[in-house]
Structures are given as structure tokens and as C-alpha cells.
Amino acid sequence: MSHTKRSVYLALLPFAILNVVSWRPVLPLPSGRPSAHKHHIAVARGEWRRAVASWYGAECYGNRTADGTLYGPDTWCLAHKSLPLGTIVEIRYKGRTVRVPVKDRGPYVPGREFDLSAAVARALGFSGVQTIEWRLAR
């Protein structure tokens, strides 16, 4: 190692040590669950909104959702990128309304806000990619 590189490393060493000493873990949200994302949707409870949704089925059976639930054909859940896990969301589609917990993360396709489980999609008569109405449950 050249003398110049060694001098630079020694000059930066105190900053590296200070950074390690001052490190602290991310604090959990008040609910006790750590946030998967920094940004959360600000929406008043009870206020209906429109969003594009899709559903996920057999290709995901046997996998675990973000909260650890084993995903299968009768799993009652939905995926959202930033709503806290466990949040209850009301979904309305073609006159049918269901209450569903957020248990997974996604969808990771631009323009889509929710992924519905196969069970939720069946209950709503939902298929493909559609516009739904949703709100946070009261």
C-alpha cells in the first residue's frame, strides 16, 4: 500500500469508528411492527378511493406472505406496498364489499396499488386487472 493511500485511510478511520459507535437500530412503529417502507398513505378512515388492483393465485401457493402466513387458495388477504401489515381495508367491486387485512407486500407492477388473494378475488367476482374502490375500515 502506498504512503498516500495509507494516509487517507488513517485520516478517515476516526469517522468510520464514530459512525459505527453512533449506529442504532431502526425503532419500531408504535404498533410494535417495524415499517417495511418509509412512506405510508395518508388517507382518512371511511374515505372511499379508487385504485387499480390485480390478484395473485396458484403461482404463489405455498409461499409465505410478508407477515408469515402460508399462502393458499383460501388465504384471506391482500398485498399493498406501504400500508402497515394488519391494517383492515374495505374493498368494493361491482356492488360487493369485503373487509380484508393487509398481510403481504406488492404489487410490484407500475400503476397497480393492490394485489388481492385468490379467495378475496373470488368473493368479489374479480378477475384480471380492474379498478376497485377501497377505504380503511373503521
Is 31 exposed, middle or buried, given 0-12, 13-18 or 19+ CB atoms closer than 10 A? exposed
Write out the chain's pLDDT in tens, 138 residues.
666 656 655 565 554 444 433 333 333 444 444 444 444 455 667 899 999 999 999 999 999 999 999 999 999 999 999 999 999 999 999 999 999 999 999 999 999 999 999 999 999 999 999 999 999 997
Assigned domain for 40 exists: no
Assigned domain for 38 exists: no
Q: Residue 122 is part of a domain; what is its CATH number?
A: 2.40.40.10
Residue 77 · residue 120 · CB < 8 Å:
yes
Q: How many domains does the chain have?
A: 1
Assigned domain for 124 exists: yes
What is the residue range of 123's domain?
Answer: 49-136
46 by DSSP, 3-state: which?
Answer: coil
pTM: 0.69
